[in-house]
Structures are given as C-alpha cells and as structure tokens.
Structure 1
C-alpha cells in the first residue's frame, strides 16, 4: 500500500500515519477505498479479476460473437462444426474440451 500511496497520491504513507502532517483515519480510509483497479493493493485483494475491466469484457464479447458467426457460416455452408465455446471469464469454471478417441478421429479423417 505504501507504493500505491506514493504512485497515485504522491504521499509517503508512513508520514501520513505518524508524521507531522498526519491524516485522520477517515481520510486515510477514503484514499485506500479510492485506489484504482490497477493498484497493487486492489490487485492483491481481487486476484485475476482485477485485470478484467470493461475493455476486456467487450473484447471477449466480440470474440464470442465472431466465434458464433463463424460457427453459423460453416453450418449454413454444409459443414458440421462443433459448438463455439465462449471465452472463460474470471470466476467461471474451466470448460473441459470434448475428447475424442483415436479410433473416432481416424474414422472422421477416413470418412
């Protein structure tokens, strides 16, 4: 948190707590709560989801839409594509890919 106070507020946290010009608890708490998403403190508390912002979500939605569009394009043209799998978002369970035996794959290739 000391690095965040220096980076974002240009203040020495130790001085704010015990120095001549120390801040009150309420002011310190409001500045801690106001730390941005990319601060070390927020990232440490939030984990991976701290990196997932609105831009990342929009890009994931675009990717998912393009995957669906490709799926439907292939389907309309007589192919039999597998269903598109959406990109994993933070906090979601990992989707296990469908497995195929070697015999099934060989049969698929040989027609």
Structure 2
C-alpha cells in the first residue's frame, strides 16, 4: 500500500493516509430558483460526493433537489422561502461542495 505523510517543521506528522483522499471539484452558492448542472470527467469514474453547508434541516432541505448524472450533479432549488414569505434561516449562506474520493 502507498500513502502520503506530511510533517511539520518539528518532524510531527500532520497528515497521514494510506488510502485515497478527497478532491474538491466545485464549490458554489445555493440560491433561490436555481437550476445548475456541474459535470466533470472524474465524477463518472471515481466515487462522487456532495456536501451542503451549513446543514439544511427541516423544510429547507426539501426545497433543494440534487440529481446524480452520469458525470455530474444537477442542483435545483425552489424559492427557499417559508409560507410567510421570508427566507428560511441559513438560506443566504448555503453552499454545495462537489468532489470525489
């Protein structure tokens, strides 16, 4: 097995792995009424993932649809608003990170 070790100036290991690490391919803001597709050749061959931050809970997560494509993801949102018309908490801060591991 092969891995990677990174040491600080004191000779202490600060990163040590003998398996794959992640590679971030895209990071972008999630906005109301979004319909965005992100594709990359690595998303077809490696193990793809996405992370939404900060954590979208409750009805907010129901307003975000992520569809896996053969070589990417399609990100769609509704208006990200509650029934009273105001934005859900954290809606202004939502981001999605897409990558492979």
- TM-score scaled to structure 2, two decimals? 0.21
> Radius of gyration: which is bigger?
1
Normalized per residue, the structure richer in helix is 1
- TM-score scaled to structure 1, two decimals? 0.20
